[in-house]
Amino acid sequence: MLILTPGATTLDQLETLWRQGLAARLSDDCRAPVQAAAEIVAAAAAGQTAVYGVNTGFGKLASVKIAPKDTATLQRNLILSHCCGVGEALDPATTRLMMALKLLSLGRGASGVRWDIIALIEGMLARGVTPVVPAQGSVGASGDLAPLAHMTAVMIGAGEAMVDGQRMSGAQALEKADLSPVTLGPKEGLALINGTQFSTALALAGLFDGWRLIRAALVTGCLSTDAIMGSTAPLEPAIHSLRGQKGQIAVADAMRALMRGSEIRESHREGDTRVQDPYCIRCQPQVLGAAVDLMRFAAQTLEIEANAVTDNPLVTPAGILSGGNFHAEPVAFAADIIALALAETGAIAQRRVALMVDPTLSHDLPPFLTPEPGLNSGYMIAEVTTAALMSENKHLATPCSTDSTPTSANQEDHVSMAAHGARRLQRMAQNLSVILGVETLCAAQGIDFRAPLKTAPCLRAALDTLRAQVPPLGPDRFLAPEIDTAARLVRADALAAACQLEFAL
């Protein structure tokens, strides 16, 4: 059970929740401000003054005044009418992360919901009630309305949810978990569906997986450098301090540490006729370092957003104010930035794969890294696969935040497109893990050909992790399962962990 503090929850806590499926609840300090805001909203609902979302319609219908007797119907209708999501369901881990983010937003005491609403979300997390949330339908402004409506539908006994691996109605799910549906009070439906938690959860998932891939790329890049007997001179600190880019400096430092003690490197310090390596070897700190800086910038944005209040209107010391915190432009920008980092990490890694299989560039490695080329094709088509995935990721990296279309009868006339901007990151991360997995296979094979010379001790630990599951390539064999295994090791952070790599977000 994680205790979350609204306004101060860290990315490490959220990643732990996401990866381990932990339950979560808010700190007890939240209760008083939450209840105070709820009382303010209740008073406004009983009054004669029109307050958006409390006693009015929504969006283009905001000018329609709603009688106090119709408040519950108004909120229920809002949820049911907004359950218009389509496509595959969001995965359970990210759905639970989204629910935790909604807790953090409501717990700031500016949304005007009763504590009963928070308690039900906590109960659903604790007892494994996971709403079925279709992944398509949000444009990332006026909040992630459709996805969050599907989450909220379960809370009122509608919609669908998963419990113990079974899909059932929301009412059945709550009953099975010994939970009771709520009747939504003034503004509560709007508070639940108006927010960026769907987009933010997906962006965070992309960030968490993406950072593991950055860590893996540090290892695979070093392995490739030794496989082609590349130079470590471009890693010298003097080069990077003169430029001053923090990510570049950090990557060069990490690569020097990983390659320290390599017999392969020491064997060609003297007498090597090559003057310079290709950019995919020589410029690794510059390219991967830039990706590191982008990921860290996105992380800062998303940590703020995870703790933010993003519904509307908001209960503030100045009164109940209508604004636009639901607009997910910061999340859309963060998702685009992560996409760029993933695409470029894959682009340079793919070139290293191409370098290793090309006998004219690999410094005497056999063609396609097979001991008997001609009869065997080795990693020829594995490299082609990486090219396909690299190109796919380039297309997926096209910015989403620069797109917009008016919705809701032009009331919501500029939107962020954060939802699908963040959703594509899962596919991009999967593609990149395969590229890096193939690079690991090729680099391991190349280093094997350098025997009896050995790579660095840190890198040997990574190779041992791979070789425990994938033997060296001799005669051609069915490679697809081995590529999958290598990609899985990359995604699991196993290579970086074997190297005891210290490189934190």
Contact assessment for residue 480 and residue 470, using Cβ atoms and an 8 Å cutoff: no
CA 302-308-312 angle, to 5 degrees, is 130
Q: What is the 3-state secondary structure (H, E, C) of 322-352?
A: CCCCCCCHHHHHHHHHHHHHHHHHHHHHHHH
d(CA 394, CA 222): 24
Between the two ends of the chain, the Cα-to-Cα distance in Å is 24
User: 444 is written with which tokens?
Assistant: 């391991």
Q: At what angle do helices 329-357 and 418-449 cross, to 10 degrees?
A: 20
Contact assessment for residue 184 and residue 120, using Cβ atoms and an 8 Å cutoff: no
Tell me, yes or no, if 52 is annotated catalytic: yes
DSSP 361: T
The residues that bridge with 168 in the sheet, in sequence order, are 161
Q: At what angle do helices 92-106 and 11-20 cross, to 10 degrees?
A: 140
3-class state of residue 2 by DSSP: strand
472 prior amide bond cis, ω within 30: no
d(CA 138, CA 279): 40
Q: Which of 13, 18, 45, 52 is catalytic?
A: 52
d(CA 57, CA 289): 49
427: Cβ contacts below 8 Å, ≥ 6 apart: 396
**Rg for the chain, CA atoms, rounded:** 26
Helices (H) and strands (E) in the chain, counts: 20, 9
Q: Following DSSP, what letter does each residue of 184-242 receive, concatenated? A: --TTHHHHHHSSSHHHHHHHHHHHHHHHHHHHHHHHHHHHHHHHTT--SGGG-HHHHHH
User: What residues are labeled active site?
Assistant: 52
